[in-house]
């Protein structure tokens, strides 16, 4: 599990089966390391829990270390954000068979402690993408940073995701889902409770939003057990992203770097699912396994 080069070759072979092109960026000279190989290095590092760039370049085998400088690696990695997102979506399209039920939820992502927030310059290079202060009701904590919104299938494959400032309310994310989903059941927690948006989603996109009612609501009716059990799938995904992929640990200084780190971790998660299902025919949600 800890042999970097063997894991890298396995992930690269998966990328080769997903995407035919090896290079995506327009460059004057031909680099020694192709764009697809660079993405494979990113995913391998995240799979092995190497989320520090300094540690990565200490552990890179000579076959890869001599192909690229660290500063060039960092710049190209951020420029490949859109192409890595496309590769992840191609994996998702092959993994997600049942497209009738999805789960939506969010999780907090700190960029620094609240005590440092006023003097922190992390991710403040652009006003539109600056972090701010928010509150996470499920964990009963205030924090400074961003909120990760995600939609996954009932099987546990993340379909779409987005980053917003921490103060952004969960319910507003549902408006964006009208361009992503249609003719399906969407499960959410009480943070998505809104009769107006629920009706709008059903009328415009035939999305049946199922949210548990509050106990003090008129005509209270308990949510079916199957829905309550299914919604735990996305909570398990968030736990795995925090545990194995350290998604809440931040070393980025710019928003481009931050969003690239988050996408890379989720793409590595999806890659392990892909390998589990199609190469080893085992439970794809068993993430803590060897892929070689």
**Calpha distance 273→128 (Å, rounded):** 34
Q: For residue 207, give both structure tokens.
A: 């999305």
pLDDT at 79 exceeding the cut of 90: yes
* pLDDT number for residue 121: 92
Using alpha carbons, select from 257, 83, 237, 72 the residue that is nearest to residue 163. Answer: 257
**Calpha distance 46→218 (Å, rounded):** 47
3-state secondary structure of 156: coil
Using alpha carbons, select from 141, 160, 90, 125 the residue that is nearest to residue 256. Answer: 125
Mind listing the pLDDT tens digit for each residue in 259-281? 999 999 999 999 999 999 999 99
Give residue 2's pLDDT band: very low, low, confident or very high (50, 70, 90). Answer: low
Mind listing the pLDDT tens digit for each residue in 32-78? 999 999 999 999 999 999 988 899 999 898 888 888 899 999 999 99
Question: What is the CATH code of the structural domain delimited by 98-253?
Answer: 3.30.420
* pLDDT number for residue 75: 93
Predicted TM-score (pTM) of this structure: 0.94
* pLDDT number for residue 1: 47
Q: Cβ distance 227 to 210 under 8 Å?
A: yes
Residue labelled with tokens 């199922």: 210
């Amino acid at each position: 599990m800890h042999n970097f080069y063997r894991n890298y070759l396995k992930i690269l072979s998966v990328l080769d089966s997903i995407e035919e092109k090896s290079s995506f960026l327009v460059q004057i000279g031909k680099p020694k390391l192709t764009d697809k190989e660079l993405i494979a290095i990113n995913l391998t590092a995240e799979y092995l829990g190497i989320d520090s760039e300094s540690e990565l370049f200490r552990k890179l085998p000579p076959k890869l270390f001599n192909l690229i400088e660290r500063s060039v690696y960092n710049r190209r990695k951020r420029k490949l954000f859109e192409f890595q997102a496309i590769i992840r979506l191609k994996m998702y399209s092959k993994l997600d068979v049942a497209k009738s039920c999805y789960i939506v939820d969010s999780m907090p992502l700190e960029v620094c402690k609240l005590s440092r927030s006023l003097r922190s310059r992390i991710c403040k290079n652009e006003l539109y993408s600056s972090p701010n202060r928010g509150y996470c009701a499920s964990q009963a904590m205030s924090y400074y940073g961003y909120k990760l919104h995600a939609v996954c299938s009932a099987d546990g494959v993340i379909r779409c995701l987005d980053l917003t400032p921490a103060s952004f309310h969960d319910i507003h994310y549902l408006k964006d889902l009208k361009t992503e989903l249609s003719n399906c059941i969407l499960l959410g927690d009480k943070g998505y409770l809104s009769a107006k948006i629920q009706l709008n989603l059903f009328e415009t996109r035939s999305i049946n939003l199922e949210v548990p009612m509050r106990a003090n609501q008129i005509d209270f009716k308990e949510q079916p057990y199957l829905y309550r059990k299914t919604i735990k799938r996305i909570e398990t995904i968030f736990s795995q992203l925090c545990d194995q992929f350290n998604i809440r640990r931040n070393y980025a200084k710019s928003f481009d770097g931050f969003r690239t780190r988050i996408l890379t971790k989720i793409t590595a998660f999806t890659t392990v699912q892909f390998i589990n299902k199609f190469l080893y025919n085992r439970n794809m949600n068993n993430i803590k396994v060897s892929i070689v």
